[in-house]
Amino acid sequence: MPCLTDEQLAHFDEEGYLLVRGMLDVDEVIQPIIDEYHGVLDKLARELYQAGQTASTYDALPFGKRLTQIVVESGQIHAQYFDFSLPQTGIDADTPFWAGPAVFRCITNPDLLDVVESIVGPEIWSNPVQHVRLKPPERLVPKNHNGQALVSATNWHQDNGVVLPEADDSEVLTVWFPLNEATLENGCLRIMPRSHRQGLQTHCPGGPGGLWIPELFMDMDAAMPVPMQPGDVLFLTQHTIHGSLANNSDDVRWSFDLRYNPIGQPTGRDLFPGFVARSRANPESVLRDPATWENLWRDTRDRLAQEVHTPFNRWSADAAVCA
């Protein structure tokens, strides 16, 4: 798909989202990511087994079942081990992350960037607010001190609400897609069509899933679940309210959450490393080497482990809507 049609662009502007079915080639884009993450899980499984935190490496289990067994037995989620970003707080010199070549090739996939270009223009910055989401079955994951699952349904939020105010005027595009089937049972995304027209809403901190917009101020009848297949891609504005259902299945729900904005605009987490993903005006500035991308994250981790930095959260629990 070289670009979006006028009808698709109008839908995105009007509704605040666009779902493009079958956009990514599963064999060329999705499967290499899956293969790469099998190696990441292998490494984690062996480390935990050698540390005596699990009774086995569970090599014979398929990926989702294996990860779930490791989470249950070790009593930890290990989400950061797989993520291609750093945490907002508590960064140490050995904080794990994964910035592998298959992930980089996905972020810079030409077909994906063609559609991104249709929305944000030809000068594209890969925004570092990006994540892999591996959500085991909620009933099986460890609980916190309040008895709440450490991985559960994602609260209603806007992506503009989880970054600093410096990015409020940036045009940040969210690109969300599953690596396995996302269903009502295993926790697919839910969106609020046309919610982007309301601008940035107050987000309350301290909920079980982090920041959240109180449902009291939303038309819950408008909530729309978005089941998706591998290869489907969902595009959201920075103000589109969305969340996810709980994973009530027997397997992991697995997805990528990428973001892009025009070059030169603040990302909202400028301490983290973005890069030029596409530039028609200055093509030599485009980052093409996955090892260089990985080193950007390693250098950032090493630097931030030595610094005290400002939290990324702008919100206070004292807001009236949070009472």
Examine residue 279 and state whether it is found in any structural domain, yes or no.
yes
Nearest to 238 by CA among 173, 175, 150, 309: 173
Examine residue 200 and state whether it is found in any structural domain, yes or no.
yes
In angstroms, how far is the first alpha carbon of the chain from the final one? 47
Examine residue 315 and state whether it is found in any structural domain, yes or no.
no
Examine residue 313 and state whether it is found in any structural domain, yes or no.
no
Cα dist. 77→64, 142, 205 in Å?
13, 8, 21
Tell me the pLDDT tens digit for each residue of 41-68: 999 999 999 999 999 999 999 999 999 9
Examine residue 264 and state whether it is found in any structural domain, yes or no.
yes
Neighbours of 280 (CB within 10 A): 10
Q: What local confidence, expressed as pLDDT, does residue 153 receive?
A: 86
Any idea what the Cα angle at residue 114 is, between residues 99 and 13, rounded to 5°?
A: 105
Cα dist. 165→142, 206, 240, 259 in Å?
34, 19, 17, 17
Examine residue 320 and state whether it is found in any structural domain, yes or no.
no
Our count of domains for the chain comes to 1
Tell me the pLDDT tens digit for each residue of 58-97: 999 999 999 999 999 999 999 999 999 999 889 999 999 9
pTM assigned to the model? 0.96
Examine residue 28 and state whether it is found in any structural domain, yes or no.
yes
Examine residue 184 and state whether it is found in any structural domain, yes or no.
yes
Range of the domain at 26: 6-307
Question: Virtual CA dihedral for 150, 152, 242, 319, nearest 10 degrees?
Answer: -50
Tell me the pLDDT tens digit for each residue of 253-308: 999 999 999 999 999 999 999 999 999 999 999 999 999 999 999 999 999 999 98
The CATH number assigned to the domain holding 68 equals 2.60.120.620
